[in-house]
Amino acid sequence: MSKSEYFRELLLDDFHVFLELTVESNSEKLLPPPIPAAKKLKQRVLQSIHKWYSNFQGAHKRLALSYNFLKHNLKVDFDDALKRNAFELQQDLVERQRQSKLVGKKVDSIKSEMEEKVDELSRIITEMNNCFSLLIPKPNDLFQDEGNTELDEHESVNADTAVNLREHGIVDRRTVISIQLYDKPQQIRITEDNAAVVETLKDHYQELKNGYLPSIKKWIQVASKSDDETLFRKVMDLKSLVEEEMKRFEELKLVEPQNASDSEEESDSDFEDVPDKEGYEETVEAPPVVVLPVASTCSTSIATSKLQTPDNAQSEDVSWRPWNENEDDAKDPATLSATLAQLKSKQSKIAFATTAKTPPTSTDTKDSYHDAVPGSSRGSSESRKERLLKCAPKLPYDVDLYHWEDEKLTAPSIEIVETDGHKFWTPSQDRAGEVFEDPNGIASLRTRVIEFTGKFEPVKWSCRAPLPSGKLCPRRDRYKCPLHGKIVARDETGNPVKVEDIAELEAEKAKAEAEKPPDWQDPEFLKDIEAQTGMDLTIRPPKRGKKKQTFSQQYPGLTDVDKKKNTPRSRLEKKVLNKQSLKRVASTMDSLSHKRFRDKFGDQWNYAMNDD
């Protein structure tokens, strides 16, 4: 028994279970949703059963019985399934033809685009090769002319070669010694002579990197889907040629020239002799001690204690303070309180006689001392106040200053004006002509709005981010470019200069690469697979913080029967049958009916008693 026959026997043992799970032979066990997938499964299984029956109906009796049961009892139409299969095959064929036509159109557009750009690309590569030969000449080019004119000398040198080789231990001239040279990056210093060549190289490098290389990658994607191998090889050769030229430029080490002005400034930064300013004094003498006019122990003690040096103050164990409240005793004649009391008594006695000989009080003593001694706290505070007043801003006189100290200020009043509107929709307030005070009126009279008029500083830098065309972004924004993000310092090629900016951009690129889907998740590739097989293989990331779905989002194929319809009738009912509107209309009708009955039956006792 072969494997296929053994497989058929095993399947026919549980064929009734297989039919229940695939073609819904049991009406109580239907296929799970989605419905399109269930229909597709049922159709494919019926096609396979019909094909199996046509090939093996004689060898398996149970297969023939099952086929007849499906066809006659369950009324399964196998012919319709075969027709559907043929129709699907026809649809697949049409879809493949459509895809081939689209690819053919893309290939034609690529060929026309290549014809336009290949000449320009070859010119750029030729110019770059010429620039490389000018910057780094080959040794053969340096000695090319001398080789033709000195053939005789070389022949004479070759005659002595054998002797020289024996001196170095080489007997046979056929001995080959291989020397491996490691390519080191070329270091080229930019000067006035090669500045134009280097600038041309930089421009061509940017054109290849940002202009031609992305286009070539797109050509490769389209050419790989077509059957034209010649076109694919041609595009791959262009890519390798462009990458080789870019690699040669990247291996160069271009050294920028030093700025001549910087070296001159460093040489001129030595100290220079400057003449002394007029009135300049190297040393400052201490101010003389001023003796106060009051011949009292208090004043002299104040002066001596105030002008005491730090050394003397440290040498004393206990320093005497004239304003110590603990030592102020009016009974002790040596204290300050007793001295002041004595001075006050003398002043009261001679106050009526003359005022010129009046001894100064304690406050006068302190004022005279502060005025006499320069550098005191009062003098310094007054001078500081004057300086601050000079530089303080001054505002012109206005309404806020006029009402600033007015305690009985009245706010401006506002009169109510009735707006247009029918009383049926809005309740009548009967406040027309009413006057009330503005709550913010007093604050508006005591405040002032000052507009800021700063100095506009023009933007002196541009974004300079690399563009797909090979140029740099010319936008002039102050902090952030809307196309390329935060503005950072860049060089002539558009690369960041600062280390932290380079690290930040590399982190962003790494994050973008990490979030980038793999190659087999290419959208165009997945579309082609979906068009051919009908299966969507796109992997979508899970959504975090997803909001609760509405009924229409959760069940897009169902209709919400509980949803209220938004019709003109429902909108009018919502407005007319409002509780406030009904209450207002009822009160108006009650007042009218009450007035009518009062006019007609006001003289009757029943209506008079019911009158409110």
Return the pLDDT at 426: 55
Would you state the pLDDT for residue 316? 40
Please tell me whether residue 497 adopts helix, strand or coil conformation.
coil
CA distance 88 to 40: 11
Q: How confident is the model at residue 368, as a pLDDT?
A: 42
Tens of pLDDT, residues 42-80: 888 888 888 888 788 777 778 788 887 877 777 777 776
DSSP sequence for 30-82: PPPSPHHHHHHHHHHHHHHHHHHHHHHTTT-HHHHHHHHIIIIIS---HHHHH
| pLDDT band (50, 70, 90) for residue 82 | low
Better-predicted residue by pLDDT, 207 or 93? 207
Contact 372, 289 (CB under 8 A): no
44 vs 334, residue with greater confidence: 44
Compute the average pLDDT of residues 84-109.
Answer: 79
Residue 262 has pLDDT above 90, yes or no: no
Residue carrying structure tokens 């791959």? 236
Model confidence at 5: pLDDT above 70: yes
- Whole-angstrom CA distances from 289 to 302, 308, 579 are 12, 11, 94
CB 41 within 8 A of CB 22: yes
Model pLDDT for residues 149-192, shown as the tens digit of each residue: 555 555 555 555 555 666 666 656 666 767 665 555 567 788 88
pLDDT, residue 475, reads: 92
Q: How confident is the model at residue 592 (pLDDT cuts 50, 70, 90)?
A: very high
pLDDT at 272: 56
- Measure the CA–CA gap between 26 and 69, rounded to whole angstroms: 13
Reported as a single tens digit per residue, the pLDDT across 386-439 is 888 888 877 777 777 877 777 777 777 777 666 555 555 555 556 666 777 777
Rounded to 5 degrees, φ, ψ at 253 are -110, 100
- CB 489 within 8 Å of CB 497: yes
The proportion of the chain whose per-residue pLDDT surpasses 70, expressed as a percent, equals 65
For range 78-105, the mean pLDDT? 75
pLDDT confidence band for 588 (50 / 70 / 90): very high
Residue with tokens 């399964």: 76
Q: What is the pLDDT at residue 304?
A: 40
> 175 is written with which tokens?
């001995």
pLDDT level of residue 371 (50, 70, 90 thresholds): very low
Model confidence at 281, pLDDT cuts 50, 70, 90, reads: low
Distance of alpha carbon 299 from alpha carbon 290, whole angstroms: 11
Greater pLDDT, 39 or 282: 39
What local confidence, expressed as pLDDT, does residue 585 receive? Answer: 92
- Find, among 8, 3, 1, the residue nearest to 61 by Cα: 8
Predicted confidence at residue 356, as pLDDT, reads 41
Backbone angles phi, psi at 230, to 5 degrees: -65, -45
What angle is formed at CA 53 by the lines to CA 51 and CA 55, rounded to 5 degrees?
Answer: 75
Average pLDDT, the chain: 73
Q: What is the signed CA dihedral for 598, 601, 605, 609, rounded to 10 degrees?
A: -20
What pLDDT was estimated at residue 160?
57
What is the identity of the amino acid at 275?
Answer: P
Quote the tokens at residue 504.
């930040």
For the cut 90, the answer to whether the pLDDT of residue 610 exceeds it is no
- The pLDDT, as a whole number, for residue 583 is 92
Alpha helices in 307-361 (DSSP H): 310-315, 336-349
* pLDDT score for 365: 41
Position 543 pLDDT exceeds 50:
yes
Q: What is the mean pLDDT of residues 78-98?
A: 72
309: Cα within 13 Å, side-chain hemisphere: 4
Give CA torsion, residues 348, 352, 355, 360, to 10 deg: 0
Residue 485: enclosing H or E segment and its boundaries?
Answer: strand 485-486
- Statement: residue 299 has pLDDT above 50: no
In this predicted model, what pLDDT tens digit does every residue of 337-370 receive, in sequence order?
Answer: 677 777 777 666 665 444 444 444 444 444 444 4
Query: How far is CA 166 from each of CA 98, 163, 173, rounded to the nearest angstrom?
Result: 78, 5, 10
Is 84 in contact with 43 (CB distance < 8 Å)? yes
Q: Does residue 261 or residue 607 have the better pLDDT?
A: 607
Instruction: Tell me what pLDDT residue 153 has.
Output: 53
Beta bridge partners of 496: 490
Q: Specify the DSSP class assigned to residue 320.
A: -
In angstroms, rounded to a whole number, what is the distance separating the alpha carbons of residues 81 and 76?
9
SS3 414: strand
550-582 confidence digits (pLDDT tens)? 777 777 777 666 676 778 888 888 888 888 989
133-137, 248-252, 593-597: the lowest-pLDDT one = 133-137
3 state SS of 259: coil
